[in-house]
């Protein structure tokens, strides 16, 4: 690694650390003051408090990281320009693109990292934090939900679940599975005491079946189904994954893109409005993390120009750029969810507009 690159990375990452620390401190303090009475009365242990704030910070990554990256990029280039380091580097034959490279790589790293975290860790962590807060900041041994239903319109099945624990999604208690005809009438019900999802297969215990005629009238009585000596039977025809049953209790804001795709797979006949809204949600979750890279591209030429002005001007420019980016996000939501433009275009609109804008600014600054 070249000395210049190491110097740029050191200055940038140091400023980024300060910005992230400042934003996180403000974020945590605001939340603590909002819930101070509940936290004191609950006697929450420090380890659970750390876990709670780590979880809600993950939810705020889409806003906190781009803001910190933009501020640190602007400030780093303001410092470099004020001390004429940018001029010296360019006079020695280093192009603006070589100067930009360390910043772009950091922005790219945080974009990819945020995307992976938002698709894997964040949905479960945020859901746990919300349940922990609703439980008055007291430990949760179980996250029980009762009388939940899941409709699989693709395969014509309706699941009704008496009780399940989100901390053990592969176990269901009190299961009724109705297989339906295309007209919505029942063909038969599978009633089970318990359901287990193991090796991508459903295993049910205490199984009884009720058949129906074409007029949806029961045919005879419940028929017990023979099982193995352990009173458990495999049902390979049940193709639903255990993870889909959480869709009935989680809000859409706690769904990852993969969760929404899975939901749409089982509900191919949803209305055009709902399909457009869900498609928009998928692409929003994929597009938002790339804001980390976009703000770095915007911040570089803006910071170079800001070096010729005072620090207050740079701060105002940072705030203006940040809110402009998220204002375009709201425009994209309005256009995409109302199908004025394609949901895909609406979700990616802020990234497209500001990437083009930042690229033009960089090209002019070269």
Domain spans, the chain: 3-134+284-365, 156-239
Q: 188: pLDDT confidence band, cut at 50, 70 and 90? A: very high
CA distance 22 to 235: 54
The Cα 129–Cα 55 span in angstroms is 6
Mean pLDDT of 11-29: 93
- Note whether 256 and 281 are within 8 A (CB): no
**In the structure, what pLDDT confidence band is assigned to residue 366 with cuts at 50, 70 and 90?**
low
The mean pLDDT value of the chain amounts to 85
Q: What is the pLDDT at residue 117?
A: 93
User: Does 248 have pLDDT greater than 70?
Assistant: no
Cα separation of 62 and 114, whole Å?
8
What is the model's pTM?
0.81
The pLDDT tens digits for 279-302 are: 999 999 999 999 899 989 888 887
pLDDT of the residue at 74: 85
Q: What is the pLDDT of residues 60-110, one digit of tens each?
A: 888 899 989 988 988 888 888 778 887 788 788 887 788 888 999 999 999
Least Cα distance to 146 among 263, 249, 253, 252 occurs for 249
Give mean pLDDT, residues 45-68.
Answer: 88
Distances (CA, A) of 125 to 52, 117, 284: 8, 10, 19
CA 35 to chain CA centroid, Å, is 24
Q: What is the pLDDT of residue 307?
A: 53
Instruction: Please tell me which of 113-117, 315-319, 346-350 the model is most confident about, judged by mean pLDDT.
Output: 113-117
pLDDT over threshold 60, residue 200? yes
Report, as an integer, the average pLDDT of 119-146: 80
């Amino acid at each position: 690694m070249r000395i210049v690159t190491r110097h740029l990375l050191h200055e940038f990452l140091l400023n980024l650390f300060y910005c992230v620390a400042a934003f996180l401190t403000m974020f945590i303090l605001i939340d603590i003051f909002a819930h101070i009475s509940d936290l004191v009365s609950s006697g929450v242990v420090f380890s659970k408090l750390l876990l709670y704030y780590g979880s809600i910070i993950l939810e705020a990554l889409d806003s906190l990281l781009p803001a910190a990256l933009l501020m640190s990029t602007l400030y780093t280039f303001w410092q470099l320009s004020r001390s004429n380091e940018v001029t010296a580097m360019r006079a020695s034959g280093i192009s603006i693109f070589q100067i930009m490279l360390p910043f772009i790589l950091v922005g790219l790293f945080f974009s990819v990292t945020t995307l992976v975290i938002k698709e894997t860790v964040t949905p479960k962590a945020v859901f746990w934090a919300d349940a922990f807060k609703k439980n008055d900041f007291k430990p949760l041994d179980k996250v029980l939900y009762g009388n939940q239903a899941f409709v699989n319109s693709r395969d014509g099945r309706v699941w009704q679940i008496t009780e399940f624990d989100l901390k053990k999604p592969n176990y269901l208690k009190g299961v009724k599975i109705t297989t339906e005809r295309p007209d919505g009438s029942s063909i038969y019900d599978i009633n089970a005491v318990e359901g287990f999802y193991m090796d991508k297969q459903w295993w049910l215990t205490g199984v009884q079946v009720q058949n129906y005629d074409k007029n949806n009238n029961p045919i005879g009585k419940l028929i017990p189904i023979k099982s193995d000596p352990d009173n458990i039977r495999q049902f390979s025809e049940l193709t639903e994954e255990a993870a889909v049953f959480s869709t009935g209790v989680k809000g859409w804001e706690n769904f990852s893109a993969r969760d929404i795709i899975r939901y749409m797979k089982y509900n191919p006949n949803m209305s055009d409005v709902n399909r457009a809204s869900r498609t928009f949600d998928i692409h929003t979750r994929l597009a938002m993390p790339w804001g980390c890279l976009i703000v770095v591209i915007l911040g570089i030429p803006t910071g170079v120009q800001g070096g010729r002005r005072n620090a207050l001007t740079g701060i105002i420019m940072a705030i203006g750029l940040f809110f402009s980016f998220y204002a375009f996000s709201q425009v994209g939501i309005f256009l995409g969810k109302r199908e004025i433009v394609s949901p895909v275009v609406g979700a990616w609109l802020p990234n497209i507009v500001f990437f083009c804008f930042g690229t033009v600014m960089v090209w002019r600054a070269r």
